[in-house]
Amino acid sequence: MKIGRGTVVPKLSVTWPHQVEIGKNCKLEQHIYFKYDNPWLPGPSIIIGDTVFIGNGCEFNITEGITVGNDCLIASGCRFIDHDHGININKLMHSQVGTRAAITIGNDVWLGCNVVVLKGAVIGTGAVVAAGAVVTKPIPAYEIWGGVPAKKIGERNTSGFIKKTTS
Catalytic residue numbers read 85
Q: CB of 146 within 8 A of CB of 133?
A: yes
The DSSP secondary-structure symbol of 93 reads G
For residue 82, the SS3 value is: coil
Element (DSSP H or E) covering residue 70? none
Burial zone of 58 (CB within 10 Å; 0-12 exposed, 13-18 middle, 19+ buried):
buried
Rg (CA), the chain: 16
Residues found in the chain: 167
The DSSP secondary-structure symbol of 71 reads T
For residue 19, the SS3 value is: helix
Which of 1, 10, 106, 4 has the alpha carbon at shortest distance from 54?
A: 10
